[in-house]
Amino acid sequence: MDKFDNRAAKYTSTRVGLFDLASTQIPQARFLERECAIARLKLKENIKFCDISAGSGYLADGVFESLNGNVDITCIENSQAFVDILKKKYFVIKSSLSNILVPNQEFDRVGCLAGIHHQQNKLAFYKEAFRILKFGGILVIGDVLEESPPAQFLNNPVDYYSDIGHDGMFIREDEVSQQLEEVGFINVTEKVEYYTWNFPDEPSMISYCKNLFRMTKATLNEVYQVIFEYLPVTQDSAGVHLHWQLLFVTAQKL
């Protein structure tokens, strides 16, 4: 049992629907972020891929598209509302990250994008990731770094304006790598990636963030104010760019 197991029960279909609405209305917004994960996964056709904390399947969709569908994808989610909306072409398992309900050595690749900042016992998850990977398999984690601008944004305005608040337990530089090595991973590397979430214009950025972060207690103007207070935003002829960053960690089981 992890702290998130209780939180997951509060993810209603309305709440999850808003997250999915953002992702389906502007799927390209987080394209660069997803590419950071996909490049590290070193994908090959016909592998078995596991998207951990799949949400509505944004990473799974990117892996599926990259391999033209020649991949066997399993999505792990602990929220029933997300389980219900994940695409039927994926094999979906409702499971805690502390005790993943799959056999040993099941996957060639495991990816976890923005999924572990609500997982209290991160070491338990790293042990499980090691267990379910085949020998030669690769794990890629991308998540919010403690004290980074995204961490401040999530645990302040998103916490204040969202329906159930946000109390992220963010990852720290070196700590993830040390813990992954502790559970047996080798070739562990980590790097903070700086990129942008991209939008055609400001109104689409504001409505995307309001929905993705379920800031249901905020007006669009309040969302606009807090975005500009916490995160750099730039604009050019291609559109509006919200500057974001995650720590990406790659590890191998040999």
Ligand X SMILES: C[S@@+](CC[C@H](N)C(=O)[O-])C[C@H]1O[C@@H](n2cnc3c(N)ncnc32)[C@H](O)[C@@H]1O
Residues that bind ligand X (CB under 6 A): 2, 4, 8, 11, 53-55, 58-59, 77-79, 82, 96-97, 113-115, 118-119
> Smallest distance from the beta carbon of 186 to ligand X, in angstroms?
25
Counting DSSP H helices and E strands in the chain, the numbers are 11, 8
Q: Please choose, from the candidates 21, 86, 15, 22, the residue with its C-alpha nearest in 3D space to the C-alpha of residue 53.
A: 86
Closest separation in Å from C-beta 237 to ligand X: 28
CB of 3 to ligand X, least distance (A): 7
Nearer Cβ to ligand X (101/186)? 101
Nearer to ligand X, 54 or 242 (CB): 54
| 219: CB partners within 8 A, 6+ apart | none
* Residue 134, CA distances (Å) to 68, 108, 254 in order: 23, 6, 8
Helix (H, G, I), strand (E, B) or coil at 59: helix
Measured from the CB atom, the residue of 79 and 250 that comes closer to ligand X is 79
**Tokens linked to 111:** 């990816």
Q: Choose between 114 and 139: whose C-beta lies nearer to ligand X.
A: 114
* CB of 217 vs ligand X, minimal distance in Å: 19
Nearer to ligand X, 121 or 237 (CB): 121
Classify strands 72-77 and 133-143 as parallel, antiparallel or unpaired. Answer: unpaired
Q: How far apart are CB 151 and ligand X at their closest, in Å?
A: 13
Min CB(236)–ligand X separation in Å = 26
- What are the tokens at 220? 């669009």
Selection from 14, 179, 37 nearest residue 109 by Cα: 37
Are 159 and 166 within 8 A, CB to CB?
A: yes
CB-based closest residue to ligand X: 55
Quick one: 8 or 249, whose CB is closer to ligand X? Answer: 8
Residue number, 58 or 130, with CB nearest to ligand X: 58
Give the whole-angstrom CA distance, residue 166 versus residue 90: 28
Q: Could you give the CA distance from residue 157 to residue 210 in angstroms, rounded to a whole number?
A: 11
In the complex, minimum distance from the CB of residue 226 to ligand X, in angstroms, rounded to a whole number: 18
HEC readout, 214-239? CCCCCCHHHHHHHHHHHCCEEEECCE
Rounded-to-integer distance, Cα 149 and Cα 233, Å: 12
